[in-house]
């Protein structure tokens, strides 16, 4: 029988499993949602789904290159604790996901999760994830990935432990310039390459904040306007890669450094484990007090 999108949606909401796994379970159960749930429980997928709501903000960043270093993929794979992030089974899975992101051609995480983890095998990335959840007892997610193709320059990477990863394409790379730039990006976390690339919503929000701060000075509007313009220039210098001061030599901005080397940056990507994920804070003292009142 034909499986409808509404059936898949309902099964996903009830189990927390991936779309492809839900669709497959419904096909095998002839559209019977209860039978599909039972089958997923038996296979361990439901056990994984029970952990789906738990925050996974630890993990690793893994970078994979093709043979001639013209393509790279960088992935963030999350778990709940630093302990599991160091587990060999987890790191092996993350490495395999990076290889699949590099070679599988997926454009988004959902597509990646439905692909086979290893070439020539049937087990999908998501099935392998769920099996690992059952084995290690923590929620895990493939959060994001970036795939970079070198067009004019060379791709260079830097990893700060397993928590920060950077891939940068540098044109005219000499004397380990690419490695220095990748390390700089890891340290300073620029928002974008240049002022022209800065998202307009971020500019508008920052201008609103600095304008409100400047008005508190009580100075005339023409002076306030100059103050705001100056603070916005500083904001762009601190948050764009080309405007930043080079961490290894304060006499150079990145833009001046590149000009002195006859080089250019074509693109870059930086991932840091857990950035943007709101971690649940446990207040154990409050919990004990609450229990004491029961």
CATH code: domain of residue 38: 1.10.8.10
Q: Please tell me the least confidently modeled range out of 74-83, 173-182, 204-213, 229-238.
A: 173-182
CA distances in angstroms from 198 to 51, 206, 210, 240, listed in the order given:
37, 11, 17, 8
| Whether residue 18 sits in one domain with residue 76 | no
What residues have CB less than 8 Å from 126, skipping those under 6 apart?
Answer: 17, 18, 20, 21, 113, 114
- Please tell me the distance from the alpha carbon of residue 124 to that of residue 55, in angstroms, as a whole number: 23
Tell which residue, 131, 129, 189, has the closest CA to residue 163: 189
Q: How confident is the model at residue 10 (pLDDT cuts 50, 70, 90)?
A: confident
Q: What is the pLDDT of residues 45-88, one digit of tens each?
A: 555 555 555 666 899 999 999 999 899 999 999 999 899 999 99
User: Both 46 and 77 in a single domain?
Assistant: no
Residue 287 lies in a domain: no
CA–CA separation, 2 and 56 (whole Å): 35
Domain count, the chain: 2
CATH number for the domain including 134? 3.30.479.20
Q: Give residue 27's domain range.
A: 5-50
Residue 34 shares a structural domain with residue 67: no
pLDDT at residue number 106: 96
* pLDDT greater than 60 at residue 289: no
* pLDDT-derived band at 294, boundaries 50, 70, 90: very low
Is residue 16's pLDDT more than 70?
no
pLDDT at residue 201, as a whole number: 94
pLDDT of residue 188: 96
The pLDDT-based confidence of 39 (bands split at 50, 70, 90) is confident
> Who has greater pLDDT, 284 or 185?
185
CA distances from 104 to 61, 107, 112, 131 (A): 18, 9, 7, 21
Do 71 and 40 fall into the same domain? no
User: Quick one: 104 and 66 in the same domain?
Assistant: yes
Within-domain flag for 85: yes
In a domain, 16, yes or no: yes
Q: What is the arithmetic mean of pLDDT over 16-38? A: 83
Residue 76: closest CA among 260, 270, 293: 270
- Domain membership of residue 137 (yes or no) is yes
What percent of the chain lies above the pLDDT cut of 70? 87
Closest CA to 57 of 266, 294, 281, 264: 281
How much is the pLDDT for 22?
84
Q: Check residue 41 and give its pLDDT.
A: 66
Which of 149, 177, 197 terminates a domain? The answer is: 149
pLDDT of residue 239: 96
Predicted local confidence at residue 292, as pLDDT = 45
Whether residue 138 sits in one domain with residue 68: yes
**Rounded percentage of the chain residues whose pLDDT exceeds 90:** 62
Residue 17 lies in a domain: yes
pLDDT of amino acid 163: 94
Q: Which two tokens stand for residue 188?
A: 């300073």
194 is a domain residue: no
Quick one: 31 and 97 in the same domain?
no
Q: Are residues 29 and 72 in the same domain?
A: no
pLDDT of residue 71: 96
Over range 168-192, report the average pLDDT: 92
Statement to judge: residues 67 and 10 lie in one domain:
no
Query: Is residue 294 one of the residues assigned to a domain?
Result: no
Are both 26 and 76 inside the same structural domain?
no
| C-alpha torsion 260→261→263→264, nearest 10 | -40
**67 and 145 fall within a common domain:** yes
Q: What is the pLDDT of residue 282?
A: 46
Mean pLDDT along residues 194-221? 92
Q: What is the pLDDT of residues 237-284, one digit of tens each?
A: 999 999 999 999 999 999 999 999 999 999 999 999 988 876 655 444
Q: Do 130 and 142 form a contact (C-beta atoms < 8 A)?
A: no
Convert the pLDDT of each residue in 216-237 to its tens digit: 888 898 999 999 999 999 999 9
Task: Say whether both 84 and 136 belong to one domain.
Answer: yes
Looking at the domain assignment, is residue 88 inside a domain?
yes
């Amino acid at each position: 029988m034909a499986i409808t999108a509404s059936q898949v949606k309902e099964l996903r909401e009830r189990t927390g499993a991936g779309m492809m796994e839900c669709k497959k379970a419904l096909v095998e159960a002839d559209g019977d949602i209860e039978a599909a749930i039972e089958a997923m429980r038996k296979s361990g997928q439901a056990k994984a789904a029970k952990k789906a709501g738990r925050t996974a903000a630890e993990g690793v960043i893994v970078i994979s290159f093709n043979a001639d270093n013209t393509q790279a993929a960088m992935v963030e794979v999350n778990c709940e604790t630093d302990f599991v992030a160091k587990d060999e089974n987890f790191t092996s899975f993350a490495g395999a996901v990076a290889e699949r992101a590099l070679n599988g051609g997926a454009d988004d995480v959902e597509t990646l999760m439905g692909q086979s983890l290893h070439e020539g095998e049937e087990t999908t990335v998501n099935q392998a994830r769920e099996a690992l959840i059952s084995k290690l007892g923590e929620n895990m997610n493939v959060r994001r990935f970036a795939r970079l193709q070198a067009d004019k320059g060379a791709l260079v990477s830097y990893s700060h432990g397993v928590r920060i990863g950077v891939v940068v394409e540098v044109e005219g790379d000499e004397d380990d310039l690419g490695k220095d730039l990748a390390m700089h990006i890891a340290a300073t976390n620029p928002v974008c390459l240049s002022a022209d690339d800065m998202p307009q919503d971020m500019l508008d929000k920052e201008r609103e904040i600095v304008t409100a701060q400047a008005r508190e000075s009580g100075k005339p509007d023409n002076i306030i306007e100059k103050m705001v313009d100056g603070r916005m220039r500083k904001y762009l210098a601190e948050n764009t890669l080309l405007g930043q001061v080079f961490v290894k030599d304060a006499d150079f901005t990145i833009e001046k450094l590149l000009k002195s080397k006859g080089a250019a940056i074509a693109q870059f990507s930086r991932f840091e484990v857990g950035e943007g994920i709101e971690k649940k804070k446990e207040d154990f003292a409050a919990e004990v007090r609450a229990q004491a009142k029961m």
